[in-house]
Amino acid sequence: MMKKVIKDKQYDFLRLDPIPTKKDVDEYYKKEFYAANSNFFNNSSLEVQKKQSDFFNSRWENIYDYCKKKFNGDIKGKKIFDIGFGFAQSLLYYRDKKDLRVSGIEPSTEGFNYAKSKGIECFNQGIDDLKEFDVSADSDIVMLLNVLEHLRNPALTLNLIKEKLLKKNGILVVEVPNDFNHFQQVANKEFNLEEWWVVSPNHINYFSPESLMNLMRRCDYEIFEYHTSFPLEIFLLFGENYINNREIGTKCHEKRVKFEKLMLKHGKKDVLNQLYKSLASIGLGRSLTVYATPKNV
């Protein structure tokens, strides 16, 4: 049953109403999440991530570069903690390619077991249960990638990260879908697509650059960088309706990957980053990434 989306009265981001129960969310993550995502061309399956390792590694590299710059180049041996690490591909990259110390939390049994088999220190528990997590706050970098949109109380999680995981001078990296963006809204009205990005109980919260950064500031974080990613929905406005056609979606994604590969190949990484920063300023881009430190450091 479709649930309505409202503006959260306390923090102003959009969310489902009513909020799914903890039981519904926990069961979805533990049993259905990766199977459900296999229906989408940009899914989280291990097979897809391995097949597109260059694309994903470029994403991990970009996060590494922003954090390295913030640490004034002193990043060797830093500890990175990934909340909701999926199949731990980011952690394996940072451990094996960048010599960082890695660990994380993953609610799905499948992802957790895979990470353990690769020798990664990890914990199998729900992310909403972070308040019960008992570790020292010694992580230099905490990543929350494509997680905040799934949480029943995102503000609580952001506050608990400061309290339980992140060093006082550490970096929090948050990535969320940039939903209800302009391209989505135009495509939705033009092609009667019924707000396809609203999915319950998977996505509970819906953020824009403005609403995410407002939430993080109100949770006492200082933002030092932000950007979006390629505005994939632009293909819909070109007439490439990938919403119900996986084959079209795959081709659109491949075009996006080719575009970014060519920019990087020919030394235009800074231009690409500037493009995605500019898109964020007008609310466009498929996903949004924000980098922040605890306030009053």
Residues 159-189: pLDDT tens digits? 999 999 999 999 999 999 999 999 999 999 9
Domain membership of residue 14 (yes or no) is no
pTM of the complete model: 0.94
Domain membership of residue 15 (yes or no) is no
Instruction: Compute φ and ψ for 78, nearest 5 degrees.
Output: -65, 155
Domain membership of residue 4 (yes or no) is no
Question: Residue 31 above 70 pLDDT?
Answer: no
Question: Residue 41 above 70 pLDDT?
Answer: no
Domain membership of residue 39 (yes or no) is yes
3-state helix, strand, coil in the chain (%, to 5): 45, 20, 35
CATH number of the domain bearing residue 227: 3.40.50.150
Domain membership of residue 186 (yes or no) is yes
Work out whether strand 139-145 and strand 221-228 pair parallel, antiparallel, or are unpaired. Answer: unpaired
Q: Taking a C-beta distance cutoff of 8 angstroms, is the pair 206, 13 a contact?
A: yes
